[in-house]
Amino acid sequence: MKTVTFPNGTTVPALGMGTWNMGDSDSRRADEIKSIHAGLEAGIRVVDTAEMYGSGRSEKLVGEAIRGRRDAVFLVSKVLPSNASRKGVRRACEASLKRLGTDYLDLYLLHWEGSEPLEETIAGFDDLVAADLIGSWGVSNFDTDGMREVESITATTPCAANQVLYSLDYRGAEFDLLARDREAGIVTMAYSPLGQGGDLLRAPVLARVAARHTTSLGPASPAQIALAWVLRQDNVLAIPKAGSPKHQHENLAATEITLTRDDLAEIDAAIAPPRRKEPLAMI
Ligand code: NDP
């Protein structure tokens, strides 16, 4: 599988797993845990969660799913902007660790920029690295201006990742942000790469392209094409949420697909790439 490498040299597969909304429904819980297990058993390492998701329910479910498997996971969580003062970052991280049943995060992100000065948040992240509570830190929903600001702040450890909305539904990051992050050695984590399972997966162009591809599971699906399209970019780590082992296996099989020049041209003709800078969209 394609990989991405963080500034501290850690390399992980470019397909990870999202967990937003996991833990919200008792009837889906067992499948969600099985889905995370299926992903880890197949070699996925990145599991993405946040203190915000279900007010901690996602972190609790992830904690349950990774019990006894912590070493196999590259665990990512996020601090809310309202908790992102220097001291608040520490409090929030310790609460996340408790819910996750672990004593460290591999990566901790500022969920989006709020009113706390970034210097404070980054100093808080540096404190957590020094205390071995996190391996590295990053941001989320930061556009090029925000990334410039992050890089202008003196920190002991570098920004490792920027998690942004990137899918065929929202191609804005392609204009300059992806290249900028790549050149700075910052991994882009693409969130909602399947358009949250909505209209995108019914786009006729995805069905047409899917009809030309197969995977080890059989004929390709529109979702697999949408994911293969995000994963075609170097330095991009996609974190689709799969609520069942079936979807997890399908997402894994999408990594077998290489889109051709003709596929990409047909997709561009149906869903145009950005021609000018647009503000970064967020969900
Ligand atoms: P995704 O684009 O990952 O879509 C998830 C939806 O797609 C679910 O309904 C899921 O259904 C469905 N799905 C998954 N796999 C398949 C498949 N193979 N075929 C068909 N449908 C499929 O949306 P998310 O918004 O969940 O984004 C992914 C992750 O990104 C989040 O879970 C979260 O971790 C992160 N995120 C970060 C944000 C940020 O601000 N930093 C904002 C939003 C998301 P089912 O559940 O039934 O499998």
Q: What is the DSSP string of the chain?
A: --EEE-TTS-EEESB-EE-TTTTS-HHHHHHHHHHHHHHHHTT--EEE--TTGGGGHHHHHHHHHHTT-GGG-EEEEEE-GGG-SHHHHHHHHHHHHHHHT-S-BSEEEESS--SS-HHHHHHHHHHHHHTTSBS-EEEES--HHHHHHHHHS--SS-EEEEEEE-SSS--GGGTTHHHHHHHTTPEEEEESTTGGGSGGGG-HHHHHHHTT-EETTEE--HHHHHHHHHHTSTTEEE----SSHHHHHHHHHHTT----HHHHHHHHHHSPPPSS--PPP--
CATH fourth-level superfamily of 12-198+233-257: NADP-dependent oxidoreductase domain (3.20.20.100)
CA atoms of 227 and 45, how far apart (whole Å): 17
pLDDT at site 258: 98
Q: What is the mean pLDDT of residues 24-38?
A: 98
> Ligand 1: which atom is nearest the Cα of residue 109?
41
- For the segment 229-252, the average pLDDT, to the nearest whole number, is 98
Which residues are the active-site residues?
A: 53
Of ligand 1's listed atoms, the one at least distance from the Cα of 48 is: 34
pLDDT more than 70, % of the chain:
100
Q: N- to C-terminal Cα distance for the chain? A: 28
Q: Are 283 and 191 in contact (CB under 8 A)?
A: yes
Question: Is the C-beta atom of 283 inside 6 A of ligand 1?
Answer: yes
Q: What is the pLDDT of residue 72?
A: 98
pLDDT digits (tens, 9 = 90+) for 186-230: 999 999 999 999 999 999 999 999 999 999 999 999 999 999 999
Taking residues 170-193, report their average pLDDT: 98
Tell me the pTM: 0.98
- Arithmetic mean of pLDDT over the chain: 98
What is the longest distance spanned by two Cα atoms in the chain? 53
**CA 171, 79, 39 angle in degrees (round to 5)?**
65
Separation between Cα atoms, residue 18 and residue 80, nearest integer Å: 17
- List all residues 6 or more positions away from 268 whose beta carbon is below 8 Å from its beta carbon: none
Taking residues 87-95, report their average pLDDT.
Answer: 98
* ipTM of this complex prediction, to 2 decimal places: 0.99
From CA 58, how far away is CA 18, in angstroms rounded? 10
Output the pLDDT for position 235. 96
Among 20, 79, 111, say which to mutate for ligand 1: greatest number of ligand atoms within 8 Å of CB: 20
Ligand 1 center–CA 123 separation, angstroms: 31
Instruction: Write down the pLDDT at residue 222.
Output: 98
Calculate how far, in angstroms, residue 239's C-alpha sits from the geometric centre of ligand 1: 7
- As a whole number, mean pLDDT of residues 83-99 equals 98
CA 197–ligand 1 middle distance (angstroms): 7
How many angstroms separate the CA atoms of 227 and 162, rounded? 19
- Residue-level pLDDT at 13: 98
CB of 48 within 6 A of ligand 1: the answer is: yes
CA of 59 to the centre of ligand 1 (A): 16
